[in-house]
Structure 1
Amino acid sequence: MFLMGLYFDYPALKGFNFKGGLQIRGSLIALWFALAIYTGAFIAENVRAGILSVSRGQTEAAAALGLRPNRIMNLVILPQALRVIIPPMISHYLNITKNSSLAIAVGYMDVTGTLGGITLNQTGRAIETILLLMVFYLTISLSISVIMNVYNNSVKLKER
């Protein structure tokens, strides 16, 4: 079974070694690593800023009630910080989707490389190929945006 850089086959004993199993292409690992490092810094800073946005008095009040530090974080700080963290996270998730099109730089044939390269070379129809790419990325971006906006509305502070 082959799926976007992952290959799985049942392991079998061939000679003196096992063949098969899960195989991951090096270009896919490079893509995951690069996107994780690049985006992880932005997301970590958003989470840090969200946690620091909760006033110190909230933490002190929870400690005065006798809550342990991990319970203070889970019950007091994070629910309030999520209201600050979620909106910028939506744009970071959309940026991950758009930045994944740079996978062709590490030799991984993603949608841009496959549809933009192979389809364009075989058909010669540049406008239709670019329109297909635009529709694909628009669909993915809108669905991520809708899902994250629904989640944002569920954690938003309810007012009268």
Structure 2
Amino acid sequence: MFSHRPLQENDLDAICSLPQNEEELYFMFPKAVYPLTPEQIVEAVKNRLEPTVILCDHIVVSYANFYDNDCESCWLGNVIVSSDYRGKGVSQFLIDTMESIAKQNLKVKKLKLVCHNTNTRGILFYKKYGFKPFDISVRVKPSGEFIAGIHMEKKL
């Protein structure tokens, strides 16, 4: 039902439509300004590895990439799933896909990520699929509100 492939230029508008509001964009891409634009994605991808889209019947339904690969581990970033496809297995397919890419292409032994404390659904999802918290950092939302970034990791 789902497939994946590297990001293509013609995917940018679809990815920009995935965050439904400023908070979702902040969860996905804290440095971006709402609404997300193709230019923001293109700029971010310059410093990212393996930008990947998940497709359902040739429609982009999810996106993620990696950053800060140190040969031992890397960070999963810019994770987003279309609101129309949440709870339908896309998130699990995305995580399985990105774990496989991290192991095979980047040869890392550990995958890390940051999930904001206000994203309860995300924290519980990552815990369910084997990610464990190992640190907390202070984050500042565009509104100026302080929140916690929960650093999580999983051995691959």
Same fold (TM over 0.5): no
Structure 1 or 2: more helix by fraction: 1
Where on the TM-score scale, by shorter chain, does this alignment land: which range?
under 0.3
**Which structure has the larger Rg?**
1
Structure 1 or 2: more strand by fraction: 2
